[in-house]
Amino acid sequence: MSEQTWHKSSYSTGAHNCVEVSEGVTTQVRDTQHRELGHLSFSANEWTALLSATASK
């Protein structure tokens, strides 16, 4: 199994209350302050819908 690559948004520079994302077959999202608590998983369609909905705000 390959290791996941996590990243934060470039808008989060210096912030401590962020989420990290690992994109692949599914997109994983986790809290940077509580990584040990796990992550949420989204299908490609769900992730695209979320990004589309938030981009229009």
Residue by residue, pLDDT tens for the chain (57 residues) are: 567 899 987 777 776 778 899 999 999 999 988 999 999 999 999 999 998 998 865
Q: Is residue 10 part of a domain?
A: no
Q: Is residue 5 part of a domain?
A: no
Q: Tell me, what's the pLDDT at 22?
A: 95
Q: Is residue 6 part of a domain?
A: no
By residue range, what is the domain housing residue 38?
Answer: 21-55
Q: Is residue 15 part of a domain?
A: no
Distance, CA of 57 to CA of 54 (rounded, Å)? 5
Q: Tell me, what's the pLDDT at 2?
A: 62
Q: Is residue 46 part of a domain?
A: yes
Range 15-35 burial, b when 16+ CB lie within 10 A, else e? eeebebbbeeeebbbbeeeee
The domain total for the chain is 1
Q: Tell me, what's the pLDDT at 10?
A: 75
Residues with Cβ within 8 Å of residue 9, at least 6 apart in sequence: 18
pTM: 0.77
